[in-house]
């Protein structure tokens, strides 16, 4: 199985690139942000809980997020591979993911981080906010909080997989096609 963690700050283009990769490599796309927004849209208990964190730019607690991932993986036992988008966001989530994949007799193949300068990230998120309908994309203070959370809590996940020689960075600026080309170059060596 090809199990890819698509990594990078909010607004780095993970969702856009994941959609293209899924088409080319026939992988299952799991975006924890999308899963939470789906729950919010259905007014579930999980959605209400997640919203209380998302609206502040904070992470949803690990136990909740890991439980949701466990269910998603259990519901999709026969996939060719998986693109994880927005997960893991903490070292505890990475450790849990390793156990979940081990139970499926597989493991993380790569973590690829999309490298984008801070100034461009904020600009991109505000632009996306005009059409995404996401309240967390429209408030500069919440965006700053999300970037700070990424730096403090999420970047250690890059180092966690780097220790196993699995982490790499690619330039996340340029056209969507250029960035996709760089990703494919890496994946085609797998
Ligand atoms: P995203 O769509 O990936 O930008 O995620 C939007 C928001 O959902 C984040 O700011 C978090 O509040 C929450 N979220 C998404 N994925 C995770 C995760 N793996 N762990 C904790 N919170 C998450």
Which residues, 6 or more positions from 150, have their beta carbon under 8 angstroms from its beta carbon? 9, 10, 89
Residue 178 included in any domain: yes
- Cα 116 to averaged position of ligand 1 atoms, centre (Å): 18
pLDDT of residue 145: 96
pLDDT of residue 133: 85
pLDDT of residue 114: 98
Residue 140 included in any domain: no
Residue 67 included in any domain: no
Residue 58 included in any domain: no
105-156 pLDDT, tens digit per residue, is 999 999 999 999 988 999 999 999 999 888 899 999 999 999 999 999 999 9
Residue 94 included in any domain: yes
Scanning the structure block, which residue is given the tokens 């505000």?
Answer: 126
10-residue stretch averages of pLDDT, the chain, 190 residues long: 96 96 96 97 97 97 98 95 98 98 96 95 92 90 96 98 97 97 91
pLDDT of residue 185: 95
Residue 6 included in any domain: yes
Q: What share of the chain is helix, strand, coil (3-state, %, to 5)?
A: 60, 15, 30
Model pTM score = 0.96
> What is the domain count for the chain?
1
10 CB within 6 A, ligand 1: yes
Give the rounded distance of the alpha carbon of 94 from its chain centre: 12
pLDDT of residue 119: 87
Instruction: Measure the CA–CA gap between 161 and 118, rounded to whole angstroms.
Output: 23
pLDDT of residue 135: 87
| Sequence-ordered alpha helix ranges (H) in 87-149 | 91-103, 118-132, 140-149
25 CB within 6 A, ligand 1: no
Which of 14, 37, 51, 124 is catalytic? The answer is 14
Q: Which residues form the domain of 169?
A: 2-27+79-117+155-187
Residue 131 included in any domain: no
CATH number at residue 6: 3.40.50.300
Closest Cα to residue 24, out of 189, 173, 187?
Answer: 187
159's tokens: 């180092």
């Amino acid at each position: 199985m090809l199990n890819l963690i698509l990594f990078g700050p909010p607004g780095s283009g993970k969702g856009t690139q994941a959609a293209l990769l899924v088409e080319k490599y026939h992988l299952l796309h799991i975006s924890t942000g999308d899963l939470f927004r789906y729950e919010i849209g259905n007014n579930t208990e999980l959605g209400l809980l997640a919203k209380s964190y998302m609206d502040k730019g904070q992470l949803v607690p690990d136990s909740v997020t890991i439980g949701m991932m466990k269910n998603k993986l259990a519901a999709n036992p026969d996939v060719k591979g998986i693109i994880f988008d927005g997960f893991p966001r903490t070292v505890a989530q990475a450790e849990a993911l390793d156990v979940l994949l081990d139970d499926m007799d597989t493991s993380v193949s790569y973590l690829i981080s999309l490298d984008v300068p801070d100034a461009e990230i904020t600009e991109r998120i505000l632009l996306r906010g005009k059409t995404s309908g996401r309240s967390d994309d429209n408030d500069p203070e919440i965006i700053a909080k999300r970037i700070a959370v990424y730096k403090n809590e999420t970047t250690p996940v890059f180092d966690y997989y780097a220790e196993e020689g699995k982490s790499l960075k690619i330039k996340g600026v340029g056209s969507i096609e250029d960035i996709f080309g760089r990703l494919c170059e890496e994946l085609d060596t797998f």
